[in-house]
Amino acid sequence: MSPNETPHRIISAETVVTSPGRNFVTLRITTADGVTGLGDATLNGRELAVDSYLRDHLVPLLIGRDASRIEDTWQYLYRGAYWRRGPVTMAAIAAVDTALWDIKAKVAGMPLYQLLGGASRTGALAYGHASGRDIPELLDSIRAHLAAGYRAIRVQTGIPGLDSVYGVAASAAGDGERYDYEPARRTALPVEESWDTRAYLRHLPNVFEAVRHEFGPELPLLHDGHHRMTPIQAAKLGKALEPYDLFWLEDATPGEDQAALRLIRQHTTTPLAIGEVFNTAHDYTTLLGERLIDYVRSAVTHTGGVTAMKKLLDLAALYGAKSGIHGPTDISPVGMAAALHLDLAIHNFGIQEYMRHDPRTLEVFRTSYTFDDGLLHPGENPGLGVELDDEAAARFPYEPAYLPVNRLLDGTVHDW
Ligand SMILES: [Mg+2]
């Protein structure tokens, strides 16, 4: 059968760029038999580059293709470009791939997780982001998260002497929950923050001491170092935090230096997670092959979609590593849904990051996933289970926004 005869021939593909509280790039693919699929292509702070990559370079290649040929399309876009990898390319391919899986599952009349092998668990353990400018505020935030049903908590705090720190909300939301942390600001130039690693290393063990004292030994606690330490600093921190039994220490050092994790691993039994800025399985070959990490942090949205993420997670399973799929609010509800279908289906699930989207975002993206008693579930609707409301999307036009730039106290640019 030629592509022109298949009922699942792609007849249109278009991007929707919308900013319901923050910017999102979504690809919608439509087949000749009227089935639509969605894919998330959001790259925080570089959204229009992915939009252009899709509109100018991928959409023309998709028209007329058989939507059912997912693996072939992935290889065609990845190998066919000659230029490989990189966040813009891989986010664009991810959007196409995810949209094609959405279509295939809708055609099958099944939620996507069924096509990935069916459920391996009843739900995906989620962790929320608690933060406070100081320890009392942090403890309040953890209480609010527990009251909201979270069973695992990421802990971030302000550092004495620093004005603003990654992961710490500027003010509490009305109900006392601190879901309002949004690092990308709608400014013409990136906001600049300052950083002092030695002050951070001195302060953090006291923070975890206070949290364990208040909440006891059972609650899973996570922490994100946001790529700011040298390997020996990270080794020192991992060792200092061992008495507090972290679920993981995330992004201790800049991720592209895979060998740096060897030194950290030699010195601490604190579990390590990394990978949210990676975009292929090749970024993990040393990390997994030498068993230097415990959790894979990639996002479906930035790693080539469901096809590539499944392969990466299967590779991780061979080396005893589990998933910890990236899920901040710059992953759209489409990207989050894709993650949840994988979380439910794979065997080596670890934990799922979860920040509730802004109510404006949920007006644009109608979701069917649920959060109940600490567990996320993708729902039973055919496909991903997310629909995009074009009229709502049009009410929130794109606004330029950037993640902050970070400088040491002497002005040197540092990892943010
Ligand atoms: Mg992180």
370 within 8 A of 145, measured Cβ to Cβ: no
- 134-174 confidence digits (pLDDT tens): 999 999 999 999 999 999 999 999 999 998 888 887 654 44
CATH topology of domain 115-382: TIM Barrel (3.20.20)
The proportion of the chain whose per-residue pLDDT surpasses 90, expressed as a percent, equals 91
Q: Answer yes or no: is pLDDT of 176 > 50.
A: no
Percent of the chain whose predicted confidence (pLDDT) is above 70: 96
Helix (H, G, I), strand (E, B) or coil at 253: coil
Q: How far is the CA of 328 from the centre of ligand 1 (A)?
A: 8
State the Cα–Cα distance between residues 384 and 369, nearest whole angstrom: 9
Q: Quick check: is 226 catalytic?
A: yes
CATH 3.30.390.10 fits 3-111, yes or no: yes
Task: Name the 3-class secondary structure at 318.
Answer: helix
Tokens of 157: 């705090």
Interaxial angle between packed helices 70-80 and 305-318, expressed in degrees from 0 to 180 and rounded to the nearest 10: 90
Active-site entry in 113, 166, 181, 369: 166
194-215 pLDDT, tens digit each: 999 999 999 999 999 999 999 9
Domain residue ranges of the chain, discontinuous segments joined by +: 3-111, 115-382
d(CA 261, CA 297): 15
Catalytic residue among 226, 227, 357, 377: 226
The count of other CB atoms within 10 Å of the CB of residue 315 is: 16
Q: Read off the pLDDT of residues 6-23 as tens digits, 9 standing for 90 and up.
A: 889 999 999 999 999 999
The alpha carbon of 250 and the centre of ligand 1 are apart by a number of angstroms equal to 6
The overall average pLDDT reported for the chain is 95
**What's the rounded mean pLDDT across residues 245-264?**
96
Task: Output the CA–CA distances (angstroms, integers) from residue 225 to 68, 164, 262, 306, in the order listed.
Answer: 41, 15, 17, 27
Going from the Cα of 8 to the center of ligand 1, the distance in angstroms, rounded, reads 38
Tell me the residues surrounding ligand 1 (ion) with CB < 5 Å: 224, 276
**φ, ψ for residue 150, nearest 5 deg:** -70, 140
Beta strand spans in 41-159 (E): 124-132, 153-157
223 labelled catalytic:
no
Burial class (CB in 10 A: 0-12, 13-18, 19+), 363: middle
Neighbours of 125 (CB within 10 A): 19
The pLDDT of residue 178 is above 50 = no
Chain centre distance of CA 41: 12
Query: Of the candidates 183, 186, 151, 188, which has an alpha carbon nearest to the alpha carbon of residue 170?
Result: 183
pLDDT surpassing 50 at residue 375: yes
